[in-house]
Structures are given as C-alpha cells and as structure tokens.
Structure 1
Amino acid sequence: MKELQTAIDAARQAGSKIREKAAVAKRIDVKSSAHDLVTEVDKEAESIIREIITSRHPDHMILGEESVDAGAVAAKEALEKHRKHEDLWIVDPIDGTTNFIHGFPFFCVSIAYAVRQEVVLGVIYNPMTDELFTAEKGKGAWLNDEPIQVSTEATLAESLLASGFPSGDPAGMRQINTDGILKLSPQVRNIRAGGSAALHLAYVAAGRLTGFWELDLNAWDLAAGALLVMEAGGKATDTIGGSYEIGVRHILATNGQVHTEVQQALAAVGATGF
C-alpha cells in the first residue's frame, strides 16, 4: 500500500524535527489548561506531515490535532465534519506533548489512514528511540520491520497494565480514572501511566504491556494504536466492550486474554466513562 510508505516517511521526517528540538524546546502556548501544552515544534511537525501527505495524495483529507480547537466538543465536531471523506488521515504530531516539554522521553508521532471510516493502516514513531511501529489491516503489526504480537499473560495477577489522566480534567474524568486504577491495582502485577496513549497502545501491540485503558481521548490519540493492537492479535474496544471505530473516546486495549476482566473491574466502580 503506497499510503504506508507515505505515513512512514511523514512520521520519520516529523520525528527528525522533534528529536532536533527536544533538548531546546522552550516556547509554549497553552490551549485549555496548563496540562494541555502545545509547542512550536508540535505545529512544525504537523506541517511536515501535512505537506508530505498532500503532495502525494492531494485528494485526501487530513484531521490533525493542531488544526482543531482544544476540548472534547471541538474534537467531536471536527471528527464528524471529516467522517464523510472516503480517504482520511488522522494525525497527532506529538502524542505526549507534556512529556516532550519536560524532557521525559515518552512521546511519539501517530499517523493513521482510514478508508470509509475504517482504519486500514497505522504508524507510530518514537523519535527518541527510533522505534517505528507499523500495521496494515489484515497484514499484521511490525516494529522496525520485525513482526510483533501481544503478550501471553492469561490472568490479571500476571498483567502489567497502563492508563492515563485526561488533560484539563474534563467532566471529572481524572477522578473516574483513578477509581479504576484503585480497583485494578491490587489485582494486577502493576500499573503504569506514561503519558502517551498512542505509545501505550504500541506497547500493548509489542507485548510490553498486557493492556491499556484511558478515558476521554480523541481520534488522533487512538486510531493508529488501536489498529496496531488488533493486528498484533489483541483486542481494542471501548470500555464497555463496543467495537472500536474512529469515534471511540474511552478505550480499552489488551492482549485479549484479560479484556473481560479489566472491563468488568472498571464497570464495577463506574470507571468506564459512560
């Protein structure tokens, strides 16, 4: 698929810019809160990605984080506006912007391509480790050209899970998510919160995490990573078990073996976001 090479080239070129600026990023704009930071490099990276996609696929549409106003309402409206397009790119130039600002090297470029609202390829690139995760629908998932699969843990007690905390605490989601963490923490090996939903999903696909859940995320946070998980043999749904589609905001992605148990634990304390 020629679009896969486009996504790879765009991710690597944007990643090069991000890596170049990582040690010197100083200028910060603030969107909706002090925890939702948008930097000059974030905007530059999306411009690089847009230029590459547009030059090779001029008839395709692009939904990028930096072109959308802050907040869940604006994100939902932007997605609905773009859904109708047959060829849609869904782009997050830096997933984990707060980490980037603080010099915490857990952030990535996330690019997905959807045809008639179905994600058919995903690329996630960590510029600090030079790890390139790729997936094509029906063709598997890869890390730097080596095939990857989800982990084999069969019980919660063996599992390493990850979660996250929504920026700006929309609708009290941080407390709701904390309730889920407190419920699951005694049942699992441990829980991590690295600050990049896309990279967490890539780690589930690569077998580094057993599962990941988070509430109130956007299409550009999830599209590439959800496909990676599914193509690596895992399961990606919303937090109450509904099938993944590009409008999902409350995500649960696992190796498939502990999916129901995590889902039930979240439901038991009202931590699904629904």
Structure 2
Amino acid sequence: MNFEILCTQVQELAREVGRFIYDERLKFTAEDIIHKGKADMVTYVDKTAEKTIVAALRELLPESGFIAEEGTAQDNGEKYRWVIDPLDGTTNYIHGISPFCVSIALMEDQEIIMGVVYEISLNEMFYAWKGSKAYLNGKEIHVSKASSTADSLIATGFPYYDFSKLDNYLKAMNFFMRNSHGMRRLGSAAADMAYVAAGRFEGFYEHALHSWDVAAGIIILKQAGGKVCDFSGGENYLFGGEMIACNANYFDEFYSIVNKHLG
C-alpha cells in the first residue's frame, strides 16, 4: 500500500466534503439541529458528510472497517479501520464560528498509520502518514521548541457531558492561567492537536474525548515531533477518553502538571 498516494486521495476527499459543509452553513435552520445531549448537537450536515466520506473510503480501501461518530458504518474487527469525525466542532459550526474540521485517520490493527485534519474555514490541510513528515498545505511542520510553562500557550477543551473531573479541571486551568502565556479553548480537539503539531500551541489536554476526535491528530503530532499520553502517563489515549499532547521539550513538565490535577 502506498500511504502517500492514499493520503493524497483522502485529502482530496476531505476538501470536497469541507466545501459541502461550508456551503450548507447558510442553509440549515434551528429545526435541523438534533440534540444528543444538552451541549452535544448534530445536524444533517454531519450525517451527510459522514455518509459521503464512508462511501468514498470504501472505494479507496475495500473491506476496511469504520469507527465513525455518527454511526453510518461499523467496525467489525477489520485489519484496516477508518476513524472518522465528519465535522469536529459542530457547536462552533452551528453558531457560525471557527474552527470546525473534517478528521480522518486510518488504523492498521491497533496502529494509526495515516491522519488528515482539514480546518475548513482557513482552508488548512494538516496530514501525515507512517514514516512521513507532518505537513500543512504541502509545507513541513514541526512542534515548537518551548520547554517551560512560562513560555507556552496551552489549549484545552471543556467537558460537555462528563463533569466528574470538573473541580480538578478548574484547578489545572488556574495554574496554567497564572503561569503560562495563556489558555485557549477552540471547541475542536482535531484543530487543537493539529495546532500543537504546527507549533501554535505547546500543549493540549482534555478528557471525555472520543477516538474520532483525536485519531488523525495523534499521528500528525507524532510525525511533527510531539508526544502524547493519557493523564496517567500511559498509552490509553485513543480509546480511553484522556489526552495529553505536547511538544517534546515541554512534555515532561506539562505531563507532571496535568497528572497532578487530573491523573
């Protein structure tokens, strides 16, 4: 399998779906929004985008399985599985703000071997595959070289259904607000991961995540020189709902802070 060619095809698909998502923003109304939870929403745009992605990926890689947010296709233990979030940042999208992304990753058994994150509003395509560099619109990207909290801009996400760690979450935020360049909450974990890979953020942490939120970002970040772990320093970050993502120089310090409050 030629990962580079396949990744190029996936980028073209992400861009095509991104155009559909962008164009539909001015067409749907409040009646088109389905509430899966108080702050967990979906629209026909998410579902249609996912169906389009699944159909195209089946053509590119027959007999592959799918882990997809909107459940339009299933994972039946196939060797190759696509991990898809057709619209990461749906709440942003509904409210007409950025970022919102198409996120597509490919796994071989338990290893992520390709990732594409397309930030639609800025027309930014982040991507990497096994053995490659990480890229943004054709140019190589790297994590930042900052090595301390004092020199870092930190990203996080707010839980929208699991509030069990909320008090400790606020304690971690309090520390970073007082000791770093600041904190940002973009509302799209896919964008957060890609931005760490591009050196825009030094670190990102969040809990109550799903695999489709972060799968593509994981390989992009790793190929850009970054590191990831769960809140306890382990490797249960794809399906475990916890993510610490950081550049290599700052990783140990960043992990120790997040672990102190949330591990």
1:230 aligns with 2:230: no
- Structure 2: segments with no counterpart, 5+ residues: none
Query: Equivalents in 2 of 1:46, 1:127: separation in Å?
Result: 15
1:126 aligns with 2:119: yes
Q: Secondary structure at the match of 2:239?
A: coil
* Offset, 1:171: 4.5
* Structure 2 counterpart of 1:91, from 84, 94, 99: 84
* Equivalent position of 1:142 in the other structure: 135
Query: Equivalents in 1 of 2:118, 2:149: separation in Å?
Result: 29
* Equivalent position of 1:186 in the other structure: 178
Cα deviation, 1:96-120, whole Å, max 9, x if unaligned, reads 1100001112110000000011000
Aligned partner letter, 2:253: E
1:163 aligns with 2:156: yes
Query: Equivalents in 2 of 1:223, 1:36: separation in Å?
Result: 20
Stretch deviating more after TM superposition (109-118 or 185-194)? 185-194
* Offset, 1:51: 1.1
* Structure 1 counterpart of 2:99, from 99, 106, 121: 106
* Equivalent position of 1:5 in the other structure: 8
Q: Is the 8 A contact 2:83 2:104 kept in 1?
A: yes
Q: Is the 8 A contact 2:204 2:245 kept in 1?
A: yes
1:249 aligns with 2:241: yes
Cα deviation, 1:147-168, whole Å, max 9, x if unaligned, reads 0000111111010010011222
Aligned partner letter, 1:101: I
* Equivalent position of 1:213 in the other structure: 205
* Equivalent position of 1:59 in the other structure: 63
1:45 aligns with 2:49: yes
1:30 aligns with 2:31: no
Q: Is the 8 A contact 1:177 1:215 kept in 2?
A: no
Query: Equivalents in 2 of 1:245, 1:137: separation in Å?
Result: 18
* Offset, 1:10: 2.1
Aligned partner letter, 2:241: R
TM-score scaled by structure 2? 0.92
Identity across matched positions, percent: 35
Aligned partner letter, 1:231: Q
Aligned length: 258
Query: Equivalents in 2 of 1:108, 1:230: separation in Å?
Result: 19
Query: Equivalents in 1 of 2:98, 2:79: separation in Å?
Result: 35
* Offset, 1:245: 5.6
Q: Is the 8 A contact 2:65 2:77 kept in 1?
A: no
* Offset, 1:35: 0.8
Q: Is the 8 A contact 2:154 2:176 kept in 1?
A: no
* Equivalent position of 1:72 in the other structure: none
Aligned partner letter, 1:15: G
- Structure 1: segments with no counterpart, 5+ residues: 69-77
- CA-atom RMSD, angstroms? 1.8
* Offset, 1:267: 2.6
**Structure 1: 4+ residue segments shifted above 6 A:** none
Aligned partner letter, 1:154: S
Query: Equivalents in 2 of 1:38, 1:138: separation in Å?
Result: 35
